[in-house]
Amino acid sequence: MHFFRNLASKFKEPMSKHDRKRFLLEGFLGAVIFGSFMGAVDYFILTTNLAFLSLFTFIVFYTFMTRRLYRSFSFYHIWYSILAVVFVLLGDYFINVFGHALYFYQTVGKIPLAIFNPIIYYRFLYVWSADAMVILLNIVSIIVYIFICVMTYIQMKR
């Protein structure tokens, strides 16, 4: 019970308006612009024989975003950690969308609207089959996303 009272008091702490504006602006623009850039890099990596390096695009994006967001505020507030997790996941969405947009534009010549549906990029959360490999990959994906979200939260709090 003490944990929840302590958590509620952290949400009630004052937050600087200037810090909040700067954090939101840097988080959103970083997620959209740098996420799209990393999506292009991801696409070019996936078209080579070095497809396993695709994971490093997300790691580079994660590192960039957490450092940039941490430097965008003067005084810590719990909302910064929560919003940083949202911005990292939003950036991951833009990495996927932009990579798929480049792929469809190069192969088909047009970009279908279906690539903007976030459900197709997070299929590991709801598509399960009897295949052991699919189950294993889904569990690993969930663990990686949980790890990234926790590490983002911790990086903002440091």
pLDDT at 102: 93
Listed residue (3, 17, 12, 19) closest to 78, CA to CA: 12
Q: Tell me: the pLDDT tens digits for 12-59?
A: 788 888 989 999 999 999 999 999 999 999 898 888 887 777 778 888
Tally Cβ neighbours within 10 Å of residue 115.
16
Q: Tell me: the pLDDT tens digits for 71-101?
A: 998 888 889 999 999 999 999 999 999 999 9
Helix residue ranges, H only, 30-131: 35-46, 54-70, 78-107
Asked if pLDDT for residue 140 goes beyond 70, the answer is: yes
What is the DSSP code (8-state) at residue 74?
Answer: S
pLDDT at 152: 92
Sequence spans of domains, the chain:
17-157
- Helical packing angle, 78-107 and 17-29, nearest 10°: 20
3-state SS class at 49:
coil
What is the DSSP code (8-state) at residue 124?
Answer: G
Q: Supply the mean pLDDT for the chain.
A: 88
Listed residue (91, 88, 116) closest to 36, CA to CA: 91
pLDDT at 157: 84
Q: What is the pTM of this model?
A: 0.87
Please enumerate in sequence order all residues whose Cβ is within 8 A of that of 89, keeping only pairs 6 or more positions apart, or say none: 145, 149
